[in-house]
Amino acid sequence: MHHEVGLCPAMTDLLTPADWAALWITLRLALLTTLLLLGLGLPLAWWLARGRGPLRVGVEAVVALPLVLPPTVLGFYLLLALGPQGFPGAWWEALGLPRLVFSFPGLVLASLVYSLPFVVQPLTTAFRGLDDGVLDAASALGAGPLDRFRSIVLPQSRAGILAAAVLGFAHTVGEFGVVLMIGGNIPGETQVLSIAIYDQVESLAYGRAHMLSGLLLAGSLLLLLLVYGSRARKEARL
């Protein structure tokens, strides 16, 4: 058995084909999830920021649930829902489509639910901070809702959109409990980097665990520097 405990030897090792596969699956999952969440999150966050009524409060609470629920609890209920006995899973399979559990599409659906608040909340905060006077002036000049959203809301919310995209991407990259419950641990299909690290630790291959963990650590730090750097530049312009 490997008993590599030093950091330096691990960093000199090359990635194995299994490591590359896990890295590719992780990046593909994070990128696809982020793009889908931005498409869903922009209109949802706008409604949450500008809407009224009791329904808005209920939806906001549901969106925030993944922040307080243990990932295993969320993963368990998603497993029941997406499995052949659950309504979405049974309906999906009745259409002749591939199963959702223990598959990449299932990972995407689970990631959409799990990372939703990390995209919607920064967008909602950005939209609530917009100057209503500018929007009212554009409306008085004849700009329609879609035109105002495209030409005023989106440009003025760039920092919030960037933060939402980075947080959604980084959070998806770091998923463990939910993806393990829904996707299992199938090398080359559903094994992401976080699960590959767990496998290395279980095997006492600490050198490889160091290297894979270092990749995630460096990537996460770079993403956070991107967010905070963008915020600092915006504040400097004010």
Kindly list the domain boundaries of the chain, sorted by start residue. Answer: 16-233
What local confidence, expressed as pLDDT, does residue 238 receive?
A: 61
CB 125 within 8 A of CB 178: no
Q: What is the pTM of this model?
A: 0.85
Q: List, in sequence order, every beta strand (DSSP E) within 98-219.
A: none
Lowest mean pLDDT among 83-97, 100-114, 221-235: 221-235
Q: Band of the pLDDT at 105, cuts 50, 70, 90? A: very high
Closest CA to 113 of 192, 171, 46: 171
Cα 87 to chain centroid, rounded: 24
Closest CA to 156 of 119, 129, 137, 117: 129
CB 106 within 8 A of CB 113: no
Is residue 223 over pLDDT 90?
A: no
Q: Band of the pLDDT at 113, cuts 50, 70, 90? A: very high
230: part of which helix (H) or strand (E)? helix 206-237
Closest CA to 178 of 195, 163, 164, 165: 195
Amino acid letter for position 79: L
- Environment class of residue 61 by beta-carbon count within 10 Å: exposed (0-12), middle (13-18) or buried (19+)? exposed
CATH topology classification for 16-233: MetI-like fold (1.10.3720)
Q: What percent of the chain has pLDDT over 90?
A: 47
What local confidence, expressed as pLDDT, does residue 10 receive?
A: 42
Q: Which pairs with CB-CB distance under 8 Å and at least 24 residues apart come from 135-138?
A: none
- More confident of the two residues 42 and 141: 42
Amino acid letter for position 7: L
What value does the mean pLDDT of the chain take? 86
Q: Band of the pLDDT at 235, cuts 50, 70, 90? A: low
Q: Report how far apart the first and last C-alpha atoms of the chain are (Å, whole number).
A: 58
CB 170 within 8 A of CB 114: no
- Environment class of residue 236 by beta-carbon count within 10 Å: exposed (0-12), middle (13-18) or buried (19+)? exposed
